[in-house]
Amino acid sequence: MPYSLPKLELYRDIRLLLPWPSARSVVILLASLFIAYFLNLYRYFRLAVLSINDFPGGRTVFSVELILNRFFGSIPGVLLSADYSWTERYDPYEKARWDIHSTIAAWPRGSTSLWLADADAIKEVTSSRVRFPKPVDMYAVLKVFGPNIVGSEFDEWKKFRRITAPAFSERNNKYVWDATVRVMMNVFENSWGWRDEITVDHATELTLPIALSVLAVAGFGSPIDFIEEKDEAPLRPGHDMSFKQALHIVAKDIWIKLVLPEWAYGLYPRFRRMRKAFAEVELYMREMIYERRTLGKTEDRFDLFGLLLDGNDNPGVDENVTLTDDELLGNLFIFLLGGHEASAHTLCFTFAALALYQEEQEILYQQILKVLPSDKTPSYEDMHSLTQSMAVFNETLRMFSPVNVIPKYSAEDTILTASSANGDQMQIPVPKGTKLFIHTPGLHYNPRYWPEPETFKPGRFLGDWPRDAFMAYSAGSRGCMGRKFFETEGVAVLTLIVKYYKITVKDEPQFASETFGERKARIFNARNILTLTPNRVPLSFSRRR
Report the alpha-carbon distance of residue 482 to residue 173 in Å, rounded: 10
> Hey, is 6 helix, strand or coil?
coil
CA-angle at 397, arms to 368 and 437, nearest 5°: 165
Report the alpha-carbon distance of residue 257 to residue 264 in Å, rounded: 10
Report the alpha-carbon distance of residue 287 to residue 81 in Å, rounded: 42
Q: Is 480 annotated as a binding residue?
A: yes
Structure-derived torsion over alpha carbons of residues 390, 393, 397, 399, reported in degrees to the nearest 10: 110
Element (H, E) at 106: strand 100-107
Please name the amino acid found at residue 542.
S
Rounded CA Rg of the chain: 28
Q: Are 151 and 139 in contact (CB under 8 A)?
A: yes
In angstroms, how far is the first alpha carbon of the chain from the final one?
115
SS (HEC) of 431-474:
CCCCEEEEEHHHHHCCCCCCCCCCCCCHHHHCCCCCHHHCCECE
**CB count, 10 Å around CB of 61?**
13
Report the alpha-carbon distance of residue 421 to residue 98 in Å, rounded: 7
Report the alpha-carbon distance of residue 199 to residue 386 in Å, rounded: 27
One DSSP character per residue, 393-428 reads HHHHHHHS-S--EEEEE-SSSEEEEEE-TTS-EEEE
CA atoms within 13 A on the CB side of 507: 3
Q: Residue ranges for the binding site?
A: 480
Q: Residue ranges for the binding site for heme?
A: 480
